[in-house]
């Protein structure tokens, strides 16, 4: 009987352990277990007394070239002593493992394990250390270009409406906001003084969920799946908007925010134009991730992408805009 076609599969962890033994020369005691099946599938690997992470990219999510460019970035950052989870070569000095999954060719990469834990309620000194680490990362990626996505305003803020309307009624108040915000941001950023905006490679998903921390200040960054080309302050914007959403006490938020900026600007300054644009860049990236959630409905977001979720999601960013004194015409 011919197997029925599939669009998304979960690879067997025990069989991946055997696969990794063969490819990397690991011993027979190697273990592998699923950690998370999300945008990509992540497995925890133990071999020879060490821990690793094996990521299996979803089918047709990233090209082999895009993955190779992500790994090039990680190796560059590691060479510059920026603490990141980095790729591990196999016995034949290959980083990328082609895997013939039922749905088609997928790719896997073994990464070093980031020691520590995720901390949602960050301390002020940790925020300062994150600022320092992000700035050092940006020193290494300034004017760098990858063969990956360019994070233009069109990509970040305009296209998401087209993706989201496949799942949401366009008459919804929140969808009207998404559409209006995309047009507003396209005009707003077109008027920015781009000579004062540093460009290079950004992570675009830097928040507590993508960093492990030891002793409040020893931080390792990981999950560069969304890295691409854009204004460096985009990373700053996304971190501070997520910090805003995870710290309900806004006085504490302000203290943590100041600590983060203190750490960042001790390494490299933010221009006044970058500072002015940060609230609006936070909105742009927020819209971008609504687009990602919509694009990945079939094999990820269908468990949460509902009308109630949209109301909550848009409500969060409106609170952020209001707190930062952004133009109320955006949502009123």
pLDDT of 235 higher than 80:
yes
Q: What is the pLDDT of residues 240-269, one digit of tens each?
A: 999 999 999 999 999 999 999 999 999 999
**DSSP notation for 43-101:** EEEEETTEEEEEEEPPTTTS-HHHHHHHHHHHHHHHHTT--B--B---TTS--EEEEEE
Q: Give the separation between CA 133 and CA 298, rounded to whole angstroms.
A: 36
Beta bridge partners of 100: 105
132 neighbors 267 (Cβ within 8 angstroms) = yes
Beta bridge partners of 50: 47
Q: What is the pLDDT of residues 211-229, one digit of tens each?
A: 999 998 899 999 999 999 9
pLDDT at 65: 98
Taking the CA atoms of 111, 114, 120 and 126 in sequence, report the sign of the dihedral they define.
negative
Q: Is 186 exposed, middle or buried (0-12, 13-18, 19+ CB in 10 A)?
A: middle
Q: What is the pLDDT of residues 39-65, one digit of tens each?
A: 999 999 999 999 999 999 999 999 999
Q: What is the pLDDT of residues 295-319, one digit of tens each?
A: 999 999 999 999 999 999 999 999 9
pLDDT band at 279 (very low <50, low <70, confident <90, very high): very high
Q: Is 46 exposed, middle or buried (0-12, 13-18, 19+ CB in 10 A)?
A: middle
In SS3 terms, 136-186 reads as HHHHHHECCCCCCCECCHHHHHHHHHHHHCCCCCCCCHHHHHHHHHHHHHH
pLDDT of 134 higher than 90:
yes
pLDDT band at 330 (very low <50, low <70, confident <90, very high): confident
Angle between helices 173-190 and 307-323 (to 10 degrees): 40
State percent of the chain over pLDDT 90: 96
pLDDT at 1: 84
All domains in the chain, ordered by first residue: 13-112 (3.30.200.20), 124-330 (3.90.1200.10)
Q: What is the pTM of this model?
A: 0.97
Q: Give the separation between CA 311 and CA 321, rounded to whole angstroms.
A: 15
Q: Give the separation between CA 232 and CA 198, rounded to whole angstroms.
A: 6
| Residue 266 backbone class (left: φ over 0; alpha: ψ -120 to 50; beta: rest) | alpha
Q: What are 179's two structure tokens?
A: 């559409």
Q: Which tops the pLDDT comparison, 332 or 193?
A: 193
The whole-number average pLDDT for the span 109-124 is 97
pLDDT at 251: 97
């Amino acid at each position: 009987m011919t197997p029925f076609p599939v669009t998304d599969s979960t690879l067997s962890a025990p069989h991946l352990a055997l696969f990794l033994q063969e490819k990397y020369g690991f011993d027979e005691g190697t273990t592998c277990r699923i950690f998370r099946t999300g945008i990509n599938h992540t497995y925890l690997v133990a071999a020879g007394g060490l821990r690793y992470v094996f990521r299996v990219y979803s089918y047709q999510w990233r090209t082999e070239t895009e993955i190779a460019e992500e790994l090039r970035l990680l190796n560059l950052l590691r060479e510059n002593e920026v603490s990141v989870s980095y790729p591990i070569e196999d016995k034949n000095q290959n980083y990328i493992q082609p895997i013939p999954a039922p749905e088609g060719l997928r790719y896997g990469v073994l990464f070093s394990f980031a020691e520590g834990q995720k901390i949602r309620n960050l301390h002020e000194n940790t925020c300062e250390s994150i600022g320092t680490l992000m700035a050092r990362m940006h020193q290494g990626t300034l004017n760098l270009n990858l063969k990956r996505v360019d994070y233009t305003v069109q990509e970040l803020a305009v296209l998401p409406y087209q993706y989201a309307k496949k799942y949401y009624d366009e008459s919804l108040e929140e969808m009207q906001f998404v559409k209006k915000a995309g047009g507003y941001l396209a005009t707003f950023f077109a008027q920015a003084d781009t000579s004062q905006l540093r460009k290079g490679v950004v992570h675009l998903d830097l928040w507590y969920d993508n960093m492990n921390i030891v002793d409040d200040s020893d931080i390792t960054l990981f999950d560069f799946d969304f890295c691409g080309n854009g204004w460096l302050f985009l990373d700053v914007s996304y971190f501070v908007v997520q910090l805003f959403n995870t710290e309900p006490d806004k006085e504490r938020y302000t203290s943590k925010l100041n600590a983060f900026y203190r750490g960042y600007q001790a390494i490299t300054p933010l221009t006044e134009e970058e500072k002015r644009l940060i609230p609006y860049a936070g909105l742009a990236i927020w819209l971008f991730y609504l687009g990602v959630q919509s694009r990945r409905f079939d094999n990820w977001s269908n468990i949460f992408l509902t009308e109630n979720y949209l109301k909550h999601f848009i409500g969060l960013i409106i609170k952020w805009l209001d707190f930062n004194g952004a133009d109320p015409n955006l949502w009123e």
